[in-house]
Structure 1
Amino acid sequence: MKLLNPIPKPKHKRRVPKRGNATRITQAVRNEVLNRSESRCERCGRTRAYAFEMAHLINASQGGRGDDPANVVLLCGPSVNTGTCHNFADYTAKGREWRRKKHEELKRYYG
């Protein structure tokens, strides 16, 4: 079915961003995290891995911002593989404690 007079999309930006966009990791934060970590896993220090992933310290589902470099770390991954740092941080009690301490450390680092 084809509309005869479709309503054009607005050409302005949203005044209040959608919730999904608030948790999306921005390119500026990605660059800052890569510079801060010197392209190393921030937990184990590994420079070579199958994949490196940006990870929220406060989960996106809990409102963790993607535009705050104190909330994002570079970890070796993928998160679904057992034994990687991203898996450790997301799925273990010790990993959740590590994320909390790392978040406190980065909040002090960024002031």
Structure 2
Amino acid sequence: MSSLPSFDTENEPKIARSVEKFFKDYKVMELLRRCGLRKSKGIPLWSILSYIFSNVFRDRSMYMQQKYGKCTAGFSKNTYYRFMQNPHINWLQLASLHYSAS
């Protein structure tokens, strides 16, 4: 018996809808534009961010999802990690803008 939980793909649509609602309610994409965060080519910013935020509610990381063949991302792990390590993204500024906008 494995101590790791199994992948729950039944909740994927619910998770996606919740993240989409969160992005709309809190105007996340508008805040990102105010921070100067844009992608000039490749995978849309919305796609990467929604996957990252959805991962909070999944029971596995991107690494484990790929290892078990259950990854729902429409992009490679290199795209994901390059985005997460991008030195031009100022997450603190994003949080401050949202806090001051409330």
TM-score range, shorter chain: 0.3 to 0.5
Structure ranking higher in helix proportion:
2
Q: Which one has more relative contact order, counting CA pairs under 8 Å at least 6 apart?
A: 2
TM-score normalized with structure 1 length: 0.34
Larger Rg: 1
